[in-house]
């Protein structure tokens, strides 16, 4: 998802980016018991692959993080979702073969390959998923690619002669010709590379970055819609700020 956030400090903008990657809780496979694995992959490789399968839940809020659960992390239906995976070759084992006991939880994508089984080879696994955050381990990272840049401001002075050199050099197709003058018509794409300025002999281009406006590019692993993830990142920041407030109040 791409969006523009204006009227905030660089610290806040970075807070949203970091929270998307490390503070938004999601489900991921946490622990497994391998009863049978006669595939070509080692147990550890199977375990790693299962841990990286993104999981979707109809309502993530029904699950607690283990350390916040009433069971105090012992493990209960409130903080873990059990699954079973049983397959026999020949054929590919896919993410869709992971069967959760709670039907509201499933892999985000059906066709993530786990391992290919030859004739008679078997894979029998039980395990459970828990809800944690990217700060605990990257497999609980909701946002996989989270970045931003400052929004650009481009003004073209009246002495532009419409030579189009800036338009031709711009790698992001930000500029176009309108009424024989260059104009920024695709400003969100500008990377502030300044190639256009170097090309303009008339020195007609004024380029600045707007310090309190940020163009975000956020990609998720499929565990939830990116829009929800960004909203949750803001909630997590707010919760942490409240926690800090409470702790500071205790000290004073
Ligand atoms: S700064 Fe770079 S990306 Fe932006 S308009 Fe100029 S050439 Fe294009
Ligand atoms: S290079 Fe300069 S003069 Fe030529 S179109 Fe662009 S802004 Fe105008
Ligand atoms: Zn519990």
188: three-class secondary structure by DSSP: helix
Taking only the tens place, the pLDDT of each residue in 134-191 is 999 999 999 999 999 999 999 999 999 999 999 999 999 999 999 999 999 999 999 9
Average pLDDT over the chain, rounded to whole?
A: 95
The arithmetic mean of pLDDT across residues 218-242, rounded, is: 94
Distance CA 65, CA 74 (A): 11
Whether 57 and 63 have beta carbons less than 8 Å apart is answered as yes
DSSP 103: T
Structure confidence at residue 73 (pLDDT): 87
Residues 72, 224, 92: CA angle, nearest 5 degrees? 95
The best mutation among 205, 207, 215 to test binding of ligand 1, ranked by most ligand atoms within 8 Å of the C-beta, falls on 207
The arithmetic mean of pLDDT across residues 22-31, rounded, is: 96
Task: Give distance in angstroms: CA of 219 to centre of ligand 3.
Answer: 30
Ligand 2, atom 3: closest residue by C-alpha: 160
pTM, whole model, 2 decimals?
A: 0.85
Token pair of 105 as six digits: 């939880």
- Asked if residue 200 has its Cβ within 6 Å of ligand 2, the reply is yes
Between the two ends of the chain, the Cα-to-Cα distance in Å is 42
pLDDT at 9 over 90: yes
| Confidence band for 230, pLDDT divided at 50, 70 and 90 | very high
Taking only the tens place, the pLDDT of each residue in 117-129 is 999 999 999 999 9
Taking only the tens place, the pLDDT of each residue in 73-106 is 899 999 999 999 999 989 999 999 999 999 999 9
Nearest ligand 1 atom, CA 169 = 7
Task: Give distance in angstroms: CA of 165 to centre of ligand 1.
Answer: 12
H or E, element range at 37: strand 26-37
Whether 143 and 20 have beta carbons less than 8 Å apart is answered as yes
């Amino acid at each position: 998802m791409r969006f523009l956030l204006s009227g905030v400090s660089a610290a806040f903008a970075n807070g949203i980016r970091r929270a998307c990657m490390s503070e938004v809780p999601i489900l991921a496979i946490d622990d497994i018991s391998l009863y049978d694995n006669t595939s070509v992959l080692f147990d550890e490789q199977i375990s790693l692959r299962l841990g990286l399968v993104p999981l979707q839940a109809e309502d993530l809020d029904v699950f607690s993080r283990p350390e916040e659960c009433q069971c105090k992390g012992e493990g209960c239906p409130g903080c873990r979702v059990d699954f079973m995976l049983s397959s026999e070759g020949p054929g590919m084992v896919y993410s869709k073969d992971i069967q959760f006991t709670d039907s509201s939880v499933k892999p985000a994508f059906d066709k993530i390959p786990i391992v290919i089984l030859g004739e008679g080879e078997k894979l029998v696994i039980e395990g459970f998923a828990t809800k944690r955050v990217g700060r605990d381990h990257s497999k609980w990272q909701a946002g996989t690619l989270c970045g931003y840049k400052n929004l650009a401001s481009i003004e073209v002075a009246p002495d532009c002669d419409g030579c189009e050199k800036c338009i031709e050099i711009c790698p992001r197709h930000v500029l176009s010709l309108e009424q024989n003058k260059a104009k920024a018509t695709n400003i969100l794409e500008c990377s502030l590379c300044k190639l256009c300025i170097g090309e303009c002999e008339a020195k007609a281009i004024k380029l600045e970055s707007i310090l309190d406006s940020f163009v975000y590019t956020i990609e998720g692993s499929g565990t939830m819609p990116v829009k929800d993830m960004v909203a949750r990142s803001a909630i997590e920041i707010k919760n942490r700020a409240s926690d800090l407030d409470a702790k500071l109040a205790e000290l004073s």
